[in-house]
Structure 1
Amino acid sequence: MIEKNDLTYEKTVLIGVVTQQQSEEKLNEYLDELEFLTYTAGGEVLKRFTQKMEKPNPKTFIGTGKIEDVRVFIEANNVGTAIFDDELSPAQQKNIEKILDCKILDRTNLILDIFAQRAQTSNSRTQVELAQYQYLLPRLAGMWTHLERQRGGIGMRGPGEREIETDRRIVRDKITLLKKKLETIDKQMGVQRGNRGAMVRVALVGYTNVGKSTLMNVISKSEVFAENKLFATLDTTVRKVVIRNLPFLLTDTVGFIRKLPTQLVESFKSTLDEVREADLLLHVVDISHPNFEDHIESVNQTLADIKITNKPTIMVFNKIDAFVEEKIEEDDLVTEHTQDHYSLEDWKRTWMNRMGDNVLFISALNKDNMEEFRKKVYDTVREIHITRFPYNNLLYPEYESITEDQEEE
């Protein structure tokens, strides 16, 4: 264990592979994210191990020589956990545990652990528990380490199998029970959504840790938990927001991530239903992140996977205060002017320019350009409201610029 700032961090190593489908640059991006996930879960990364392979080893994920290097390092540094960037098969996990003799996690298991830490309400705890049992079910056989000596033969055929099958049945029954519980929760949340009246619904979506909760606090003047860690928010928060005299419902949802476990997508159905039923999506992006374009693609892919397409969407590029502009000197004829050196103005002239009015650049933390943000949201919500509820369209005039203090009055 490592102590930092009065906290105890678990010693870990990260392991990933470069394949034909995953370049070294892409792997390094994933490992950066995996290290942030590890920190969020309470781990301290001592070292990364990578290997170039045509495809992962079906028995031990990495080669025999590399896994021996990992074993030596783990033993020498008293490392308690090895974390793999891709999902391990039950057989791989069992084989690796025998060799490394420490706790073995993959990206899916790590994300599930973070979700279990962050879940606060009965709804989210049930959703996470279901995902954990679904992940656990095919791996039960590998967890019966006390039966390893039973290799079959006379007197050795029955008890182990029966015990494992009993556990499988218990887990299946638990999954069935949790699904029924979630069905009840889904119905209750559906009734709640139906009782919210004639108001336009707006949902904040985006990659994890892009500032959705901070933006929620600024818009709704509420105190939604926000922290510079991945998946700080799991529980859906709905607030009634009024801009000028126009009320609407604003929902803060769980953040997405690359390689999001399918078990979580399935179990968080009720949370994602808030996004499905939204009239307008505010897709929040951390423009200061070097891989924000990949984040946008991941969010769009996840939305497509859960059948959410063709909804009115405003792209909100957040954290412009943290945007690092690496400018190239005019007389520098050697350095290639790539996206790594783009300023905010450079980005605005790229594909973002083709988005027209459906793009905003703000800092929720410093409240930069929030007046422009309020006007755009007001105008869009007003247009949707007038279309859906034409009988009271005279209640909401064109937006006029006023201060926050005037709005509160």
Structure 2
Amino acid sequence: MNQSNHYPADFTWGVATSAFQIEGGANADGKGPSIWDTFCLNPNNIKDQSDGTVACDHYNRYREDVGLISSLGVDAYRFSMAWARVQPSGKGAWNEAGFGFYDRLLDELAAKDVKAHLTLYHWDLPQGLQDDGGWLNRDTAHRFADYAHEVARRFGNRIDAIATHNEPWCSANLGYGNAQFAPGVADARQAIQVSHHLLLSHGLAMTSMRAAAASAQLGIVLNQWTADPATDSELDRTMAELEYARSVQWFMDPIFKGRYPELALRAHGANAPVVHDGDMAAIAQPIDFLGVNYYFRSFCSAETPPRTPPGKLGFTDMGWEIYPQGLTELLVKLNAEYMLPPIYITENGMANPDAVTDGKVSDPARIAYVRMHLDALKAAMEQGVDVRGYFLWSLLDNFEWNSGYAKRFGIVHVDYATQERTLKDSAIWYRDFLSAQRQR
């Protein structure tokens, strides 16, 4: 019997999405533009020249989608709020029609007995704030804290968990480091400063949400990976150590240790961020949970050209190595290095070139992927890591950022022309797996 059949009875099982990837309704009911709306205006930025104007039309089909979530038998749904939907310019007046959408969504989830896990920021900054400098502008951290307080004030007693940010590494390094994501800036120094302002905004938001006296558990979601040297050479080992310091420790150390890792600071040199007095104390607020998103490891090679990962278990449609044991290694390493709160695996899944055939979608590779990662997760738990839940990414095929609609992560297939939803075999497997869990 697989290890994954032996999870605690109170373990939380869920599925996850994000606002820009599924909602559509880009101009509906007073919503303002986000940096991703703007980024998509340049067709060179998106591989299939698409945008998020309609996406999965979740804004209009949320009841149907919550019905799908309920049919899977999950405990919880992780989703994000579009900041520009509830505050069109990112400052000033609130948009009651925008809040009304999330109010209805929460009502629907409650009616189906599905717990709500909200992410405040999943990369879609209001364009009005970008016009003022975006995350490079320190003031944006304070505007984010205001937004977090208002959401916690309104909904904090109807939501089980609120995460400040999803993957700030991506916001900084892909948005400002290599221009792969919105707002499309390629400047290493800006990326590092932005990473600091994102962390500062997290800490300020934690304080502002605590002041709202919400009952929701509060935390942050970080994308993380192990960094493995391709060989035993000193160059590869040094490269792997630096990669881990500049990615994982760069975000973990300020939150849990109140400082940046020295190795990364030295490597950044003149690009190191400007840090004001009191910033690190503001960032290092206690959190109730840590969300971990895991997809792959970093395979570090100093050779030219660099060695590629062996991919013994294959690669996903994103070209990412399938390496489930890296999840065990990561969690055990984090548990040894930090005083951690409970952990949720907030994203894990794979892109697969799925198609509907005779009304069905066969995706055995995804089922195998999830099985292996659940076994790896259980192995970490058996080594003392306090993991409380797992959210499969993603509920729906959706707008996969700069890949457009070409990559399908969902366990539910979406026909973008008709918006028809079809449960993939992986969704049926997940439903049956969860049913078996509850019969133990």
Query: TM above 0.5, one fold?
Result: no
TM superposition score normalised by structure 2:
0.30
Question: Larger relative CO (CA 8 A, sep 6+): 1 or 2?
Answer: 2
What TM-score comes out, normalization by structure 1 length? 0.31
